[in-house]
Amino acid sequence: MKILHTADWHLGKLVHQLHMTEDQAYVLNRIRALIIEEQPDVIIIAGDLYDRAVPPKEAVELLNNTLTEMIFDLGIPVLAITGNHDSSDRLHFGSEMFRRQQLYLQTHIEGCTTPVTLQDEFGSVHFYLIPYMEPADARRAFEDDAIVTHHQAMEAVLTNIQATMNEQDRHVLIGHAFLAGGMESESEERLSMVGGTPYIDVDLFSAFDYVALGHLHQPQRVKHEHIRYAGSILKYSFSEANHKKSVTMVTLNGSGIDRIEQHPLSPKRDMIVKEGYLQEFLEGEDAGSEDYVHIKLLDEGQLLDPMGKLRKVYPNALSLERVGFLGNTTDTVRHIQERKKMSHLDLFQSFYENVKGKEMDENRREYIAEVIQSLMKEERDQ
Amino acid sequence: MKILHTADWHLGKLVHQLHMTEDQAYVLNRIRALIIEEQPDVIIIAGDLYDRAVPPKEAVELLNNTLTEMIFDLGIPVLAITGNHDSSDRLHFGSEMFRRQQLYLQTHIEGCTTPVTLQDEFGSVHFYLIPYMEPADARRAFEDDAIVTHHQAMEAVLTNIQATMNEQDRHVLIGHAFLAGGMESESEERLSMVGGTPYIDVDLFSAFDYVALGHLHQPQRVKHEHIRYAGSILKYSFSEANHKKSVTMVTLNGSGIDRIEQHPLSPKRDMIVKEGYLQEFLEGEDAGSEDYVHIKLLDEGQLLDPMGKLRKVYPNALSLERVGFLGNTTDTVRHIQERKKMSHLDLFQSFYENVKGKEMDENRREYIAEVIQSLMKEERDQ
């Protein structure tokens, strides 16, 4: 059985106020070409189909066209789950009807321990579709107050699944989660920190022949060959400039993994970081490139409208950093970069300490963690 | 063939800031009971499924559950169109997949001249699903700059349809439009007035055996027995207090209409207007009623917190009018009531004349009509 594994489409995404719809349509068209060439038996989309709960209508149209084409024109079953960016309640619309067309879209914990079973010449492959969940969702679903962390939530789901697994068959898990040991980028939204950490231990998944993950934007294995993030279909921030985006093609034989291949995805416009002097850029050879560019200027003095000038040669220059400017000491730059990596909670704590001149105590920290958590849940549930 | 005709569900509707979801779920459940009892062969929903382009998630859930149940549990095909309150682009999601399950949801002009054909013992019945459209939509679809009014837009659609009609068969049109001669309520959103009027002449529809309409909230025939608005499923404003809501059951024989019946819908809570003195209400016999009440107080003097007092006996009192209060001359009341009936354009014109002290010329009026039109389209297309 040949499985195409992709994730983190983030349709409706804005990068520096720019809609990525055209770039997303382009790269989804590349995936379509790959599907026609490779003829996988099933397509997995491991969450974050949309970038937000109420995506713009262009994103709705693109997802509709893409899924309709996969199901009807290409005739291949699709297994998809919601990620932390998707609204489970909104994406649930029509899912009963979609199932009869072989589009399996799992949006809630309820029912996620029942697999979708496909057959190949070796027998049954059971796919378990686990949407992104908050610990509170699992606590409610399993009526177990001891579930506090993301790890415990996944453990509860997997305990239920493993009780029904048949060792003769093969099992694939589809999840949207943060596995300990995975490499973050800046563009993944922080998961809730209730219960301490957002991490799930990779050892939980030892019973599965393949684990198809979404959430982290860089394609990667986590500790084992068969536990993988497909990565996003596009670079969604300059922190991903060095990523090589791909979809993962997994072939199962009778006993498990036979082969894993990564098929690179070429974007319509790349997202790159360039460093140099203004004059060099204006006279440079790659002028006119349509790529999205973050420019680090080495010039030290004042410059007149550098962005305006750069945009004449790089029409899609999106951001500018004056790394050589005397006003920007290296310390300031490093400080800003560090801030960008902080969680909402740490940022608030730092703000609090700045304003109050003293440390935030544990009670306050817990309280604020809950507030942030409930705000993020509200945003997600819109 | 037995046809159940309903329209104007307006899921997600707020009346005086109050969500109608519970009342809507209740009345949809009554319709479900009617379907089980009457066993229609097909269900028509003639537009305004939702009340707005991006409905709250509870409304999305209710529509999903209702349609899923009609299709799978009751096993009856559903023919639905978008109305002026719905977002065509958002409701389009999944519609290709829904068609294969006998849920036909027509959201755009493109393809609306191709009928959905069902069979009975007498032969074929062709259903034409015409979603709400702006004249500009038809102008674009038919590449005909002469289409300026709503009437011309519908005429263009029907000319295309009539060219392919087979006189041996029966034909049903499903539309969401304002037919000249229909009775308005206050709660229907005004349609765009570009091209002069929103009205469509009823004679356009003479070729059809039955015309199943949505938009006007009062169940009614328009000039002919077989041209009908099903009306909304609930009273959505106090201007509808005297309506009797219903669904329409139409039976076709081999040559056309055999029988038309209206099945009344009882709401969980009625919406009524009551007039009297405060003391009468507080001592009245129907205290404790859960109905939504608009109260017209006849008392003349000052009263201390009349709404607070009334809510103790009518927990769902939604609004209060001091018709007897000296501060409200009958003229003021009549003036306010007249304003409520004015179109956006007339309201603006009246405001303009009030501020400028002179009449608005035709150029300005046309310009403002276009602005209002494009704002309403933007809202609709969200």
Q: In chain B, which residue ranges form alpha helices assigned H by DSSP?
A: 21-38, 57-68, 88-91, 95-99, 135-142, 150-162, 278-283, 306-313, 330-341, 344-356, 362-381
- Is the model's pLDDT at B330 over the cut of 60? no
CB contact under 8 A, B92 and A60: yes
Architecture in CATH of A2-264: 4-Layer Sandwich (3.60)
A-chain residues near B94 (CB < 8 A): 64, 68, 93-94, 97-98
Tokens of A12: 């409706």
CA distance B30 to B240: 20
- Distance between B96 CA and the closest CA of chain A, angstroms: 7
CB contact under 8 A, A90 and B60: yes
pLDDT digits (tens, 9 = 90+) for B239-289: 899 999 999 999 999 999 999 999 999 999 999 999 999 998 988 877 778
Per-residue pLDDT at A327: 57
pLDDT, mean of residues A8-23: 94
SS3 A347: helix
**A86: nearest Cα among A112, A51, A133, A129:** A51
By C-alpha distance, the chain B residue nearest A58 is B89
Q: Which amino acid is at B360?
A: M
Per-residue pLDDT at B376: 77
CB contact under 8 A, B97 and A101: yes
Strands lying side by side in the sheet with B210-214: B116-120, B123-130, B170-176, B210-214, B224-229, B220-222
Give A229's strand partners.
A213, A220
- Is the model's pLDDT at B344 over the cut of 70? yes
Q: Is pLDDT larger for residue A374 or for residue A164? A: A164
pLDDT digits (tens, 9 = 90+) for A250-283: 999 999 999 999 999 999 999 999 999 999 888 8
Query: Pick from B64, B97, B382: which is nearest to A68 by CB?
Result: B97
Confidence of residue A361 (pLDDT cuts 50, 70, 90): confident
Query: Pick from B64, B87, B101: which is nearest to A93 by CB?
Result: B64
Query: Pick from A57, A87, A97: which is nearest to B97 by CB?
Result: A97
Tokens of A297: 């200027």
Instruction: Return the domain boundaries, chain A.
Output: 2-264, 271-331, 342-381
Find the range with the poorest average confidence among A336-350, A357-371, B228-242. Answer: A336-350
pLDDT, mean of residues B175-183: 92
**B18: nearest Cα among B292, B323, B312, B307:** B292
- Distance between B275 CA and the closest CA of chain A, angstroms: 40
SS3 A105: strand
pLDDT digits (tens, 9 = 90+) for A212-250: 999 999 999 999 999 999 999 999 999 899 999 999 999
Phi, psi angles (nearest 5°) of residue B83: -105, -175
- Is the model's pLDDT at B377 over the cut of 80? no
Q: What is the DSSP string of A4-30?
A: EEE----BT-EETTEE-HHHHHHHHHH
By C-alpha distance, the chain A residue nearest B56 is A382
Find the range with the poorest average confidence among A23-27, A185-189, B93-97. Answer: A185-189
Per-residue pLDDT at B197: 77
Tokens of B151: 């009437």
By C-alpha distance, the chain A residue nearest B63 is A93
Query: Pick from B57, B98, B382: which is nearest to A97 by CB?
Result: B98
B-chain residues near A57 (CB < 8 A): 87, 89-90, 381-382
By C-alpha distance, the chain B residue nearest A62 is B93
Using CA atoms of A255, A261, A262, A266 in order, give the dihedral in degrees to the nearest 10: -140
CB contact under 8 A, B72 and A96: yes
- Distance between B199 CA and the closest CA of chain A, angstroms: 29
Per-residue pLDDT at A329: 54
CA distance A120 to A285: 53
Q: At what angle do helices B362-381 and B344-356 cross, to 10 degrees?
A: 140
- Is the model's pLDDT at B185 over the cut of 60? yes
Q: Contact at 8 Å (CB) between B144 and B130?
A: no
B-chain residues near A92 (CB < 8 A): 60-61, 64
By C-alpha distance, the chain B residue nearest A101 is B97
By C-alpha distance, the chain B residue nearest A89 is B57
CB contact under 8 A, B90 and A57: yes
CA distance B115 to B125: 9
SS3 A318: strand
Question: CA separation (Å) from A3 to A41, A66, A69, A81, B83?
Answer: 6, 17, 17, 16, 41
B-chain residues near A64 (CB < 8 A): 92-96
pLDDT digits (tens, 9 = 90+) for A121-167: 999 999 999 999 999 999 999 999 999 999 999 999 999 999 999 98
Per-residue pLDDT at B196: 67
Task: Give the contacts of B311 (CB within 8 A, at least 6 positions apart).
Answer: B317
CB contact under 8 A, B93 and A89: no
- Distance between B131 CA and the closest CA of chain A, angstroms: 18
For B149, other C-beta atoms within 10 Å of its C-beta total 18
Best residue of A97, A377, A378 to probe chain B, by most B CBs closer than 10 Å: A97
Confidence of residue B331 (pLDDT cuts 50, 70, 90): low
Residue given tokens 């809507």 in the structure block: B24
Q: Is pLDDT larger for residue A127 or for residue B341? A: A127
Per-residue pLDDT at A294: 93
Confidence of residue B224 (pLDDT cuts 50, 70, 90): very high
Per-residue pLDDT at B329: 54
CB contact under 8 A, A94 and B98: yes
* Average pLDDT taken over every residue of chain B: 91
Find the angle CA(A136)-CA(A110)-CA(A143) to the nearest 5 degrees.
45
B-chain residues near A54 (CB < 8 A): 54
A-chain residues near B71 (CB < 8 A): 97
Best residue of A65, A69, A87, A90 to probe chain B, by most B CBs closer than 10 Å: A90
Confidence of residue A362 (pLDDT cuts 50, 70, 90): confident
- Distance between A16 CA and the closest CA of chain B, angstroms: 22
Find the range with the poorest average confidence among B48-57, B271-280, B323-332, B369-378. Answer: B323-332
Per-residue pLDDT at A33: 97
A-chain residues near B54 (CB < 8 A): 54
CA distance A94 to A134: 23
| DSSP letter, residue B159 | H
B-chain residues near A75 (CB < 8 A): none
ipTM of model? 0.81
A-chain residues near B87 (CB < 8 A): 57
Tokens of A251: 């072939």
- Is the model's pLDDT at B341 over the cut of 80? no
**B188: nearest Cα among B382, B333, B374, B10:** B10
Best residue of A54, A96, A377 to probe chain B, by most B CBs closer than 10 Å: A96
Per-residue pLDDT at B189: 74
**A129: nearest Cα among A144, A142, A117:** A117
**B133: nearest Cα among B185, B200, B186:** B200
- Is the model's pLDDT at A86 over the cut of 90? yes
Beta strands in B152-192 (DSSP E): 170-176, 178-179
pLDDT digits (tens, 9 = 90+) for A311-343: 998 999 999 988 876 555 555 556 666 777 777
